[in-house]
Structure formats: C-alpha cells, structure tokens
Amino acid sequence: MTAFVELAEQIGNATAVEIMGAGTQRGIGGAVDASKPIVEVRAPTGIVSLDPADMTVRVLAGTPVGVLSAALAEVGQECPLDPEDSAATVGGVLACGCSGIRRIRYGPIRDRVLEVRFITGQGRLVRGGGPTVKNVSGYDFPRLMVGSHGTLGMLVEVVLKTQPLANKSSWYTSELSPALLRTSIYRPACIAWNGKMTYVLLEGHEIDVLSQASELSLEPAQSPPHPIGKHRGRISIDPARIGSLAKRLEDIEVRWLAEIGVGTVHVATNKDAGLHDARLAAHGEGGWLLREAGAPLLDPFGVVPSNREVMGRIRDAFDPSGKLNPGRLPFARFTP
Amino acid sequence: MGRVRVRAEPLELILYQSDAGTARGQASVVCFPESIDDLSFAIRAANRHRVSFVARGSGTGLAGGATPVANSLVIVMTRMNRILEVDPVGRVAWVEPGVLNLDLTRSVRHLGLHYAPDPSSQQACTIGGNVGTNAGGPHCLSAGVTSTHVLAADVVLGNGEIVRLGGLEPDAVGYDLRGCFVGSEGTMGIAASIAVRLTPDPPETRTLLADFTSVDAAAETVSGIIAEGIVPAALEMMDAPITRLVEEFVGAGYPLDAEAVLLIEVTGLIGGVDAEVDAIRRVALEHGARQVKVAITEQDRMLLWKGRKSAFGAIAKVAPDYYLHDIVVPRTRLVEVLKRVYEIAAEQDLLVMNVFHAGDGNLHPLFVFDGSEPGIWERVYAAGDGIVQACLDAGGVLSGEHGIGLEKRDYMSLAYSADDLDAQARLRDAFDPDGFANPEKILPAGSRCGEMKRAPEGTWI
C-alpha cells in the first residue's frame, strides 16, 4: 500500500506521465507526446495472494506474465493472458487490451479481470470490481480499464480469474477448410489460418484431444509461425468476413494469420506501405487495424469511433489535465 | 407515440411503481416503445420536460432497479420483443431487449445452440433486464455471466442520442463502453437492440445429485471440487428446508432426509466428462456424501433442474412473504459464511432457506415469513444488514447477479471508499451528464465529492 501511496503522490504532482510496463508493446495506442517533461512510472511487482481453491490470484500490475504463469503452473493452474512475449507485465497486457491466441475458447482478457486498483490523473487510488468470480456492485471498472492504454489511470493491482491447466494441449495442422473445422470441433482452443494451412490447438482431457484429432485426421504440428516483419498490426473484424478479408490481403505484400471464429488477424510486413494497405483492406470489410509495432507515420488506430464524445468525457473525468500517457488514444479527448 | 402506447391511468401507475423487490416509487407516465425511434422520442420528450426515466422489462428484478423515483417516466420495453437476426455460423443473435431469456434459447435450440446465462427467472425475465443487471444463473459458473455473452448493443443515451457500443469485431476502438454498459442498471441509457453470443450445446451432459447429512459437509465438498481443479458447468446447493419443499412441489427424487444436497452438472466431451464425474463422486464421498446419483437421460436431468428452478415458486406454500438476498463470497469462505447466515436467522428468530450458486460462492439466503406479523420487517431488515456485514467481513461483494438498485445502494459505502464511489459517479456522469437515466440507483447520495446526502423523494424501501 505504501508503494501505491507514493505512486499516487508522484502522479498527482506530475505534469505528464508515461506508464511503463516491460516495453514489449510500447508502440501500441500511439506515441506518448514528448513535448512536455515526462515522468516514467512503473507499477510494483509481485504476487500478493494465490489461493488455488478460489481459482483467483491477486497480483501487482508490474509483475511479468511469465512470473505469474510459473507461479500458477506450480498449483496446476493458468490465466490465459498469452502475450507473445512473456516478459510483458500483467498491467501492460491489460492496458493494451490485446487478447491471446486462445481467445475462441477462453474469451477475451477483459473477461479475466475481477478487481482493479488504479491511480487516476488526480493521484487518487481507486478500487473497482471485487475479488469474487461474480460481482455486480457498481460499474465495471475492470472491463473499462482493459484496453484503455493507461489513459484513465495506472493499474497497480488486479485480481484475475484462473483456470485449471489442461490435461493435454496439442497443436495440429489440417488441410480441411477453417470453416469446416470450426463447426466440427467442440470448443477448440484456437483455429488459425494463413490462407494456405489451418492450425488447430486442442486442449482438454487426453482422450478427447486424441479422439478429435484422429476423427478429423489432424496432423501433429508446431504452433503456427507468427507473422514476422518490421511493421506489425492486428486487424479486428467480424469473424464472418475473414474469408473476404483474406482475398484482399492476398493482393498486398503482408504476412497474416487469422484467428477463425474470433476475427483477430495478425499482420506483418517489411514494406513501408504494407500496414497502410492492410488497414485499407480491413476498412473495406468493416474492420480496423491496430498498429502494434513499426510504421511510425501510421495513425495508431486509423478510425475515430462514433461514440468518441462519451469516451472523451470519461477520459476527462479521470484525467482532467490530460497527463496520463498524453498522445495515446488521440480521439478520446472531450471537445465541448 | 400514439395514445395506446402512453398511459397515465392511476391503476397502471400503481402497477409500475415497483419491480419484484420491496421498494415502492411513483411513476408519472408509462410508455411502451415499439422501435428504437419510439424509445429515443420518449427519452427526448422526458428531457424536454426535465423528467427522469427508468427502463423496465418484465419487472422480475429484486433490487428496485426498475422502481421509478422522482416521478420518473417508466419505459416498458416488453413490446420490443423481436429476435431480429440469428447467424448460426457466426453464433450470434441480434435481439430486442424485451425478448424473454428462455424464448431466445428455445428459438435456437434446433440449431444446436443456446443462450448461456440462465437466471432462475429465465421463463419470465427479459434479455434487456439481464443486460441491465449483468444477470447470472446456475450455468454461469463455467460459461460466465451476461457481460461475457454480450457483443454489442445499440443504446439510447440519457439525452436521446443513439450510439453503438461494442461490435461483432473482437475489439472495438477505444474504451470498452459495452463492458461499462452491461450491469449499469439502466443508469447509462437503454438498449434498443443487443447482439448476444450463442453457445453450442455440449456433446455430453451429466447431472449429479449428492446428498449430505450436514450443510458443512456439502459446503466443504464445493471447495473440494474447485480445489481439485474442476470447474463444473453448474454447482448448486440446496439446504434441507428448501429441498423438502421442492420435492413436495415437483417430486424430482430429492432425498427428504438430507441436510443439504448438491446439484452438479458436468458437460463436454466424453473423456473429460467421465473423468470429472469420477473425481466429483470421489470428492463428495470423501467429504461424507451418503450417495451420489448420476442422471444421464434428458428426462431425469430436466426433472432435477425443474426442482432447482422452481424453488422460489414452491416457497409460496409456506408463508405469504419472502425476502431473497444475493451476496458473493470467495469460495473458500463458503462454510463459515453459511454458518453465520444460520446464526443470524436464529438471532432474529426467522426461517431461512438456502438455495444458491455454490460453485461461484454466490449465496441466496431466503427469509420466509408473514409480513403482517407486527415487527417482522424490522427483523428481516436487521438480518439483511447482518448478512451483508458477514459477507463483507469475509472479503465478499454486495451482489452477484441481482444488482444494487435501491435495495443495496446505501451499503455501497461499506464496500467502497469515498474515492471509489466518486470514480463510479464520474463514470456514470460521463455517460449521462444530465442525470436523467434512472437516477438515484446504485450510488448512495453523497458519492460525488461535495454532494449533499439526501433521501430519494417518494420512495420507501
């Protein structure tokens, strides 16, 4: 708590603050405006309490996901935050709002957060939600904070819902169409498609994993290679339109991997205009592209949400002087 | 809106002065929109007359969330009850808020799909109301509560403006306004259409009935199952008084001499299901279960569930009045809190029955009494205070699925600090700066820093 109070004072007194995690996703959400003197702040680290019989864990936001995963694995559990780099901090992953590759089965990361403690731009320590697996007492701050890019407050502590580690977890490939696999498999952990090959992750009881794999003649495989390139982004699209998006992506120089049934499409390219072209393809299908890395001249989101006024008022309510990660989430500023 | 859809007859106003809870208010006008334009028109009209408004579904809420305060306009959403679109491949349905929860599941059953949140009132309650309270139900243990299943909503804000929150794409740009809206009890606007996720029916389902000679043993079994690394599809507990009552009512085969029973459902593929059934049976027997019966046929399973879901109907036979609580505690504290619930009932000389979502730690102590007995309501309220305190002392929260409404509004400051409540008030005001959307609910007076504390006008709780 002392650490929280000190951080709250520091944030309350600063004119501009950049909230730092491990820096693994620093390109997401827009560059922090460097025109003001910036104070870098980091959330404290450590697991506060882990009770396997509650299937919840209270963890400080600066804790690396890898450290949390190791502690949970010791008691046979996990929390599927699944960042690409396990050095990423719990707070950083939540603030960026990027869900992991097993989302089709385990849901988005916003469904994992039961309680949050955060420090507002005014230096107030606020708690929202509660430590139990079910809770409707007041407004859902845990979900609001996920994907808010540190513009409403600095996450300092969260309670996450955990789950038992699957008895078996295996990747396969298949030549069947992703749509057919989607309807044939009960609760796959991931179906990923790159236009040529479909990758399937099955998790559960060993008997079920093996029998599903043999029924569909799936071939054991490594996990799908994540698209690599200087410029990276993720498209968010109605999953029903992945097929037509794929056709558009074929015409441009990008590598991509789509999460079937979810609508997340990971794209990467070394071509300077590649991410811009992928964004246009996403817009053509009613989706949008989040810039994750590289492409410094590209707008971080490329779209302005229709409800930006509400977002602007929310941001003003928690950070009236605009000191938290200034420049990030540029559309969410109230203009009366 | 025409005359038919706007009413202000005294008798009708009385009908809409409360939900299924105990708080009474006063409506000025009642209207029945049939489209998003009607809804927006009604809200703008209320704005012009500086009148607040409150949405109402079937009125099954228990926390007074739909109770009109300050002569609000009551907007009854039951005529907006169309299922607009079902996409069986994408497993998404767009529905209007007045669609009944069970009707949605019935309409997609032939596709091998269902809508997962299943509150006990699912035959009567609306999807819109479920969104308002972020409703749960027995199967939310593994499937998650309403917020997990709502992808998007077209919402009319407090000023009549129409906005889309969330979307069919996995992540919307910017803040998760959809997440804020679900569970906001009508204080951030009213949904006119809602996109919900549909869930594939599991290939295998087993329903287990375990009976115990002590409540403690049953509660310890609950913790034991979770500690074993099993998250069943549902894990419900009923104590002796309610079990006997239900058995007389439906004849589902519940043991009449048990002190507590657990109703446990396991779903999935056969390998996992068999392994979990074996493990649950072992844990239950280790904790002193007398027997563990496994229902496999649809008919046997349905009968067991019918018993569980008609529990609240059955109590009408015992006494004319009841008061149902809704609290959640960490699952590891279930045994001690349940003990405390019985002590509190004894201290107030009240009959208490417990039928609840044990796997979630979500308790529903139910006091059954005759409200005409002098002084009885004071004892019922005193017991309620005691239960809330016991829950908070054990690290629990004020509500799991019924919401705060008016009923628990004044407990909020026991659960949250002044800064926490100020933040909640700021979030609400950002959605509804004029404060016309269901005022005086959720947050106690004085939540905003510097605000005067005052009692809501025209209400008694």
CB pairs under 8 A between A and B: 247
Chain B residue with Cα closest to A135: B400
Question: Do A173 and A221 meet the contact criterion of CB atoms below 8 Å apart?
Answer: yes
Instruction: Pick one of 1.10.260.40, 3.90.226.30, 3.30.43.10, 2.60.40.10 as the CATH number of B6-76.
Output: 3.30.43.10
Give me the residue label for tokens 């669609």. B99
Nearest CA of chain B to the CA of A183: how many Å? 8
Average pLDDT rounded to a whole number, residues B411-417 = 96
Q: Of the candidates B29, B30, B23, which has an alpha carbon nearest to the alpha carbon of residue B67?
A: B23
pLDDT band at B458 (very low <50, low <70, confident <90, very high): very low
* B204-312 against B319-393: fold identical: yes
3-state secondary structure of B212: strand
Q: Of the candidates B122, B118, B150, which has an alpha carbon nearest to the alpha carbon of residue B137?
A: B118
What fold does the segment set B319-393 form as a domain? Answer: Alpha-Beta Plaits (3.30.70)
Q: Of the candidates B275, B274, B323, which has an alpha carbon nearest to the alpha carbon of residue B296?
A: B274
- As a whole number of angstroms, the distance between CA A141 and CA A323 comes to 20
Nearest CA of chain A to the CA of B304: how many Å? 24
pLDDT for residue B250: 85
- Other beta carbons less than 10 A from residue A187's beta carbon: 19
Report the mean per-residue pLDDT for chain A: 95
Distances (CA, A) of A116 to A145, A153, A316, B188: 8, 11, 20, 21
- As a whole number of angstroms, the distance between CA B17 and CA B454 comes to 21
In chain A, which residues have their Cβ closer than 8 Å to the Cβ of B168? 238-240, 263
The DSSP output letter for B358 is G
Q: Of the candidates B222, B401, B247, B236, which has an alpha carbon nearest to the alpha carbon of residue B310?
A: B247
Nearest CA of chain B to the CA of A328: how many Å? 10
Residue % of chain B over a pLDDT of 70: 96
pLDDT for residue B3: 54
pLDDT for residue B224: 93
CB–CB contact A288 B169 (8 Å): yes
Please list the residues that pair with B7 across neighbouring strands. Answer: B30
The DSSP code sequence of B383-401 is HHHHHHHHHHHTT-BS-SS
B264 pLDDT more than 60: yes
With residue A77 as reference, give the H or E element that holds it. Answer: strand A77-78
Q: Where are the alpha helices (DSSP H) in B251-333?
A: 270-286, 298-309, 311-314
B316 pLDDT more than 90: no
pLDDT for residue A309: 93
In chain A, which residues have their Cβ closer than 8 Å to the Cβ of B361? 132-134
The DSSP code sequence of B408-427 is TGGGHHHHS-HHHHHHHHHH
- Top-level class of domain A2-164: alpha beta
- As a whole number of angstroms, the distance between CA B301 and CA A332 comes to 51
Question: Do B136 and A134 meet the contact criterion of CB atoms below 8 Å apart?
Answer: yes
Average pLDDT rounded to a whole number, residues B258-286 = 97
- As a whole number of angstroms, the distance between CA B126 and CA B103 comes to 9
What ipTM does this complex have?
0.96
Task: Report domain extents, chain A.
Answer: 2-164, 168-220
3-state secondary structure of A193: strand
- Other beta carbons less than 10 A from residue B392's beta carbon: 17
- As a whole number of angstroms, the distance between CA A250 and CA A265 comes to 13
What fold does the segment set B204-312 form as a domain? Answer: Alpha-Beta Plaits (3.30.70)
Two structure tokens written together for B354: 């417990």
The string of pLDDT tens digits covering residues A148-162 is 999 999 999 999 999
The DSSP code sequence of B17-48 is S--SSS-B--EEEEE---SHHHHHHHHHHHHH
Q: Of the candidates B51, B71, B47, B56, which has an alpha carbon nearest to the alpha carbon of residue B20?
A: B56
Chain B residue with Cα closest to A237: B169
- Strand pairing category for A17-20 and A39-42: parallel
- As a whole number of angstroms, the distance between CA B39 and CA B24 comes to 24
pLDDT for residue B237: 96
pLDDT for residue B159: 94
- As a whole number of angstroms, the distance between CA B117 and CA B360 comes to 14
In the chain, the amino acid numbered A101 is: I
Q: Which residue among A55, A205, A317 places its CB closest to the CB of B430?
A: A317
Q: Which residue among A55, A138, A303 places its CB closest to the CB of B412?
A: A138
pLDDT band at B455 (very low <50, low <70, confident <90, very high): very low
Nearest CA of chain B to the CA of A272: how many Å? 24
pLDDT band at B447 (very low <50, low <70, confident <90, very high): confident
The string of pLDDT tens digits covering residues A239-265 is 999 999 999 999 998 999 999 999 999
The string of pLDDT tens digits covering residues A41-59 is 999 999 999 989 899 999 9
Task: Report domain extents, chain B.
Answer: 6-76, 83-200, 204-312, 319-393
Question: Do B442 and B3 meet the contact criterion of CB atoms below 8 Å apart?
Answer: no
Q: Of the candidates B246, B447, B39, A65, which has an alpha carbon nearest to the alpha carbon of residue B439?
A: B447
pLDDT for residue B1: 65
pLDDT band at B459 (very low <50, low <70, confident <90, very high): very low
pLDDT for residue A27: 82
Q: Which residue among A131, A143, A163 places its CB closest to the CB of B147?
A: A143
B203 pLDDT more than 70: yes
pLDDT for residue B461: 35
Give just the sign of the alpha carbon dihedral B64, B66, B67, B70. positive
Question: Do B64 and B406 meet the contact criterion of CB atoms below 8 Å apart?
Answer: yes
CB–CB contact A124 B331 (8 Å): no
A:294-313 residues touching chain B, CB 8 A cutoff = 301, 303-308, 310-311, 313
Report the mean per-residue pLDDT for chain B: 92
A334 pLDDT more than 90: no
CB–CB contact B175 A152 (8 Å): yes
The string of pLDDT tens digits covering residues B5-30 is 888 888 888 889 988 888 888 899 99
Q: Which residue among B164, B174, B328 places its CB closest to the CB of A331?
A: B174
Q: What angle do CA B333, B339, B345 make, to 5 degrees?
A: 135
Distances (CA, A) of B98 to A71, B22, B60, B83, B92: 46, 23, 13, 9, 17
Check whether domain B83-200 has CATH 3.30.465.10, yes or no: yes
- As a whole number of angstroms, the distance between CA B389 and CA A133 comes to 19
- As a whole number of angstroms, the distance between CA A314 and CA A328 comes to 15
With residue A119 as reference, give the H or E element that holds it. Answer: strand A113-119
pLDDT for residue B457: 44
The DSSP code sequence of A231-273 is EEEEEE--GGGHHHHHHHHHTSS-EEEEETTTTEEEEEESSTT
Chain A residue with Cα closest to B402: A136
B82 pLDDT more than 80: yes
Q: Where are the alpha helices (DSSP H) in chain A?
A: 2-13, 65-74, 90-96, 103-106, 141-145, 178-184, 206-215, 242-250, 274-284, 308-318
Question: Do A152 and A315 meet the contact criterion of CB atoms below 8 Å apart?
Answer: yes
pLDDT for residue A283: 98
- Find all residues with CB under 8 Å of B426, minimum gap 6, and list them: A317, A318, B448
Asked if the C-beta of A66 comes within 8 angstroms of chain B's C-beta atoms, the answer is no
Distances (CA, A) of B318 to B32, B303, B313: 36, 22, 10
Question: Do A305 and A329 meet the contact criterion of CB atoms below 8 Å apart?
Answer: no
Two structure tokens written together for B308: 């569980």
Q: Which residue among A124, A314, A332 places its CB closest to the CB of B427?
A: A314
CB–CB contact B423 A141 (8 Å): yes
Residue % of chain A over a pLDDT of 70: 99
Asked if the C-beta of A329 comes within 8 angstroms of chain B's C-beta atoms, the answer is yes
Residue % of chain A over a pLDDT of 90: 91
Average pLDDT rounded to a whole number, residues A81-85 = 95
Average pLDDT rounded to a whole number, residues A206-223 = 97
CB–CB contact A130 B415 (8 Å): yes
CB–CB contact A53 B223 (8 Å): yes
Asked if the C-beta of A152 comes within 8 angstroms of chain B's C-beta atoms, the answer is yes
List the single best residue of B173, B226, B270, B409 to mutate versus A (max A Cβ within 10 A).
B173
B453 pLDDT more than 50: no
Q: Tell me whether residue A146 is exposed, middle or buried, using C-beta atoms within 10 angstroms of its C-beta: 0 to 12, 13 to 18, 19 or more.
A: buried
B454 pLDDT more than 70: no
- As a whole number of angstroms, the distance between CA B160 and CA B76 comes to 16
B225 pLDDT more than 60: yes
- As a whole number of angstroms, the distance between CA A41 and CA A17 comes to 7
pLDDT for residue B4: 58
- Other beta carbons less than 10 A from residue B96's beta carbon: 24
3-state secondary structure of B367: strand
Give me the residue label for tokens 């089709």. A104
Residue B255 CB-half CA count within 13 A: 18
B452 pLDDT more than 80: no
Chain A residue with Cα closest to B168: A238
CB–CB contact B87 A134 (8 Å): no
Distances (CA, A) of A137 to A140, B120, B146, B236: 8, 20, 14, 22
Count of helices and strands (H, E) across chain A: 10, 17
Average pLDDT rounded to a whole number, residues B333-361 = 95
Average pLDDT rounded to a whole number, residues A270-287 = 96
CA B155 to chain centre: 21
Residue A66 CB-half CA count within 13 A: 7
- As a whole number of angstroms, the distance between CA B28 and CA B10 comes to 9
CB–CB contact A135 B272 (8 Å): no
Two structure tokens written together for A329: 């989430």
Average pLDDT rounded to a whole number, residues B185-196 = 98
- Strand pairing category for A47-51 and B365-369: unpaired
- Find all residues with CB under 8 Å of A256, minimum gap 6, and list them: A194, A195, A227, A246, A249, A265, A266, A267, A268, A278
In the chain, the amino acid numbered A199 is: Y
Please list the residues that pair with A115 across neighbouring strands. Answer: A129, A159
Give me the residue label for tokens 């969260």. A158
